[in-house]
Amino acid sequence: MSLEGRFDDDAGVVRVGHDARQRYHDSRGYGYPLEGNEIALAPVEAAHLLYRGDLDTVVEKSTGDHLDFQAFVSREPGTDFGVRFLVYADLRERGFYLSPAREPWIDDSLLDAEHERIDFAVFPRGKGPGDGEIEYALRVIGERTDIPATELTNGVLAVVDEESEITYFDVNARDPSGETDTDLPSGVEAALLEDRVVLWEPPIDLYEDAFYGQPLEGREYERPTLQCSLLEAAYLAERGVIDLGFETVVERGREVEGERFDRRLRVYTELREREIVPKTGYKFGADFRTYANVESVSELSHSELLVRVHPDDHVFEPRDLALDVRLAHGVRKTMVFALVGESDGDREMVTGLTDDTDNSDASDATTDIEWWSLERLTP
């Protein structure tokens, strides 16, 4: 025998009586308990029970109309109800119980400070709202909803595309580090040629051990001629490794790349300081690919990260995220976004970075770059 629900418009829930508590809440994790055996369902929960035929109808208080699934969904005005229902149903289909990420469905203490952006608390398989554990803090958006970088939080982002397919991204604050230590020479002769720098006869170690530059074909060994990017050259110039002025190189960088050059140089420098080797990510459409531990270029391992640099007020389009993450996944690397603040003050203000994120060490090391990885997730 199945049941009917009644809208409680003040509470914005659907109330179900009879043995609903045992049948739907206790055994299957829908809603939250009220007096006796009655429970309250969020509209998305009620829609799912209607959809499955567990509820026959929901009754409109005002009109007395009996709504079936179709009528209920068409009536439900809440923006994004559609995408939230699709994700709710998909995760139920995958064997998870989940609840709206707020009281009284769950205990707020289960979520971190950023939970106002979380739509659902997804419980570990086999567990429910009462078990005090959360597997995924889930945010749901449509493919056309832009995401300000300042809204990235640890958790899972579910994106529903225009044809209602769902992609899940695992979002994590990162603190990248490596073990590439290098001794740098000094006073190496270098020439600035257009948008690159040529080192005519540097010590081979600069390439072979420290992985700076790219040898000119056929000149790898006896007298290597290294071509360096302007980023590499700026970093080397600042440390007196090459005989070019730091400002000279940076000015050329700004001429050819604008302010983007400064942002990328800060990320390049920070990665080198963290003993990670950044090389161009151009072939992957990224700013850098990185090597955490370079012993020698001749025994180079697979690069681990693809890094894309953005100002920390950047606004992501989900489609661009899908493109970057998909490509990184395809080449067995992790996509990392480096968000560069204009200044500490701004950063604190716009990102609200809190010390309880994994990022706090990073933010000590460099007070104005945040690192976030996005990876494909199959719940």
Binding site for a copy of itself (CB under 8 A): 70, 73-74, 79-83, 89-90, 93, 142-144, 161-165, 167, 191, 193-196, 198, 200, 213-214, 216-218, 227-232, 256-257, 279-280, 282-286, 318-320, 322-324, 326-327, 330-331
Q: Angle CA(347)–CA(351)–CA(353) in degrees, nearest 5?
A: 95
Closest CB to a copy of itself among residues 227, 248: 227
Quick one: 32 or 235, whose CB is closer to a copy of itself? 235
Q: Which is nearer to a copy of itself, 137 or 230 (CB)?
A: 230
Among residues 94 and 239, whose Cβ is nearest to a copy of itself?
94
CB of 318 to a copy of itself, least distance (A): 8
- Which residue, 174 or 279, has its beta carbon nearer to a copy of itself? 279
**Which residues, in sequence order, are bridge partners of residue 139?**
157
Residue 88 designated active-site: no
Q: Which of 300, 65, 77, 287 is nearest to 180 (CA)?
A: 300
In the complex, the smallest distance separating the C-beta of residue 313 from a copy of itself, rounded to whole angstroms, is: 21
The closest alpha carbon to 100, from 145, 49, 44, belongs to 44
CB 214 within 8 Å of CB 248 = no
Name the minimum Å distance from CB 378 to a copy of itself: 13
Give least dist CB 227 to a copy of itself, A: 4
18 catalytic? Reply is no
HSE at residue 116, side-chain half, CA atoms within 13 A, is 2
Which of 30, 136, 291, 310 is catalytic? The answer is: 291
**CB 163 to a copy of itself: min, Å:** 5
Angstrom distances, CA of residue 175 to CA of 133, 256, 303, 379: 26, 30, 17, 25
Let me know the angle formed at the C-alpha of 290 by 284 and 296, rounded to the nearest 5 degrees. Answer: 120
- Of all helices (H) and strands (E), which one includes residue 91? helix 81-93
Residue 107 Cα distances to 61, 111, 127, angstroms: 29, 8, 15
Instruction: Give me the active site residues, please.
Output: 291, 302, 333
